[in-house]
Chain A
Amino acid sequence: MTDNGSQDAVIIERSFDAPVDLIWQMWTDPEHFAAWYGPDGAAIPVAQMDVRVGGTRLVCMEMQTPNGVMQMWFTGQYREVVENVRLVYTESMSDENGTVRSAADMGMPEGHPTTTEVRVELEHVGGSTKMVMTHVGIADNSPGAAGWAMALDKLAAYVNAQSDR
């Protein structure tokens, strides 16, 4: 299902026709970040970013639903900050005060990581910027996670058997 055999990460490489420092700002300047991060129709009314190692971030995604406005909050910490080169931060769902809410609390299965890590690597290539974004789950070893993984393994085997027919 994945091209690299790793099922626990999203790795996307893109090239942008823009200088490295501008791409860096896309991730670290709240105004720029809000312009692209939210899905269509969503707003990013809050994007607090204390971009230094150990600094925290708090992002609010707001969208219209048939049941009214829905807000989703995300918090995290910067782990690596090398301007125009490498940015690493964690991300978890949270409340508006930045208190982490577990994936299970949010209706996700136990095996869905509560905390994920986003790594952005930038490189100046010719007149453009090569960006590699890696999104990985940080494993939590709850017993539930194992049960979930086992159930999925069984089901995956079934799915594969179906597609081999």
Chain B
Amino acid sequence: MTVDEGRLSETFAALANPTRRAILARLAGGAATVNELAEPFGITLPAISKHIKVLEQAGLVRRGQRAQYRPCALDAARLEEVSTWAEQYRPIWEARFDRMDEYLRQLRPQRKTGQR
């Protein structure tokens, strides 16, 4: 597991929860405060804050700096990265084939005479 894979797992773990996905879908319509987010879900403020913290740590949500409201906004960059599992695998495979190439180079002196 590379660093990227670890980060990916974190993001996916954050996205794996239906309430958190709903929060993101709500934020897709524009920034909102914690109070505004809590309302439609009928859950307590501490509970919604916990979800938001998970999303924030996963890099999916940014929070404003204004102490009173600290509105939440969607961080699109990370979503773009994780939009498909396949796109996440591409750099992993590219790195593997770079290593394969390097390994083949190391083997080369040994197989000089054995080539078909």
Say what secondary structure dominates the interface of chain B.
helix
Closest CB pairs A-B (n = 8): A158-B28, A36-B100, A36-B99, A151-B21, A7-B84, A39-B2, A159-B76, A107-B13
Complex Cα–Cα for A46 and B103 (A)? 19
Of B34-42, B43-51, B64-72, B90-98, the one contacting chain A is B90-98
Total of A-B residue pairs, C-beta within 8 Å = 122
Chain B residues near A18: list those with CB within 8 A. 104, 107-108
Q: Are A159 and B80 in contact (CB under 8 A)?
A: yes
The count of residues in chain B whose C-beta lies closer than 8 Å to any C-beta of chain A is 42
Q: Does the CB pair A12–B2 fall under 8 Å?
A: no
Could you list 19 further interchain pairs (A-B, Cβ under 8 angstroms) beyond the known A2-B84, A35-B103?
A8-B84, A10-B86, A10-B90, A12-B93, A14-B101, A16-B101, A19-B116, A21-B116, A36-B97, A36-B100, A39-B2, A42-B1, A107-B13, A135-B89, A148-B21, A151-B22, A154-B28, A155-B24, A159-B83
